[in-house]
Amino acid sequence: MTISGFTGFVFFLVANFTDFFVGSSILAGCLQLCVNAFVFTVWTKAFMQSSGFKKFVAFFGVVVPIAMAGITIWRVLIVH
C-alpha cells in the first residue's frame, strides 16, 4: 500500500511540476490518474477492514488520491 501511494505521489509531482519533454505532463497526468484509481481502490478496502488508528491512516489514503487527481485534472488536462 505504501508503494502504491508513493507511486501516485511521484506521478503527481511529475505531471504537475515538470516539463521534461513536450506533452510529458499530459502523459504523466493520465498515468497518475490510473495509479490513483488503483490507490483509491486498495486504500478504500483497507479503510473498510481496519479499525482505530489504522482506519485513521487509511482515511488519508482514500482522500489524498482524490485531491491529487482533482488538482491534476484541473492543472494538466483542463488548463494546459
pTM for this prediction: 0.80
Cell (9 digits) for 27: 502523459
Cell 505531471: give the residue.
15
Range of the domain at 46: 2-78
- pLDDT value of residue 21: 67
- Total of domains in the chain: 1
- pLDDT value of residue 44: 93
- pLDDT value of residue 49: 95
List pLDDT tens digits, range 25-47: 788 888 889 988 998 999 999 99
Residues 6+ apart with CB under 8 A from 66: 36, 40
Cα-based torsion angle of the residue sequence 40, 63, 59, 15 in order, rounded to the nearest 10 degrees: 60
Q: Give every residue of the chain whose pLDDT is below 50, as ranges.
A: none
